[in-house]
Copies of this chain bind each other. A is one copy, B any other.
Amino acid sequence: MTRQALIGAARQVMAEQGNTDVSIQPIADRADVGFGTFYNHFETKDALFDAAVADALEEYGQLLDAATAEIEDTAETFAAGVRLTLQLAASHPEITGILRFRGLQHVHSGTGLGPQALRDLEAGKASGRFDIKDTQVTLGAVGGIVLALVQLGATNDLEATAGEGTAELVLRMLGLPAEEVTTGHGDSALPASDRPRTGHR
A137 touches B162 (CB 8 A): yes
Specify which chain B residues have a CB less than 8 angstroms from the CB of A158 in the assembled complex.
137
List 6 A-B pairs, minimum CB-CB distance, nearest first: A144-B148, A144-B144, A140-B148, A173-B173, A141-B145, A140-B152
A165 touches B137 (CB 8 A): yes
A100 touches B104 (CB 8 A): yes
B105 touches A151 (CB 8 A): yes
Contact with B along A85-116 (1 / 0, CB 8 A): 00000000000000010011101110000000
Contact with B along A129-141 (1 / 0, CB 8 A): 0000110111011
Specify which chain B residues have a CB less than 8 angstroms from the CB of A161 in the assembled complex.
134
The residue from B104, B137, B168 contacting A104, defined by CB atoms under 8 A apart? B104
B148 touches A107 (CB 8 A): yes
A149 touches B156 (CB 8 A): no
- Assembly CA distance A100 to B8 (angstroms): 26
B152 touches A137 (CB 8 A): yes
Chain B nearest Cβ from A146, distance in angstroms: 7
Specify which chain B residues have a CB less than 8 angstroms from the CB of A133 in the assembled complex.
165, 168
A156 touches B141 (CB 8 A): no
Chain B CB within 8 A of A61 CB: no
Chain B nearest Cβ from A99, distance in angstroms: 10
- Assembly CA distance A158 to B136 (angstroms): 9
Beyond A134-B161, A140-B148, 19 additional contacts (C-beta under 8 Å) are A100-B104, A109-B155, A134-B162, A137-B158, A137-B169, A138-B169, A140-B149, A140-B152, A141-B166, A141-B169, A143-B144, A143-B148, A144-B148, A144-B149, A145-B145, A145-B148, A147-B148, A172-B172, A172-B173
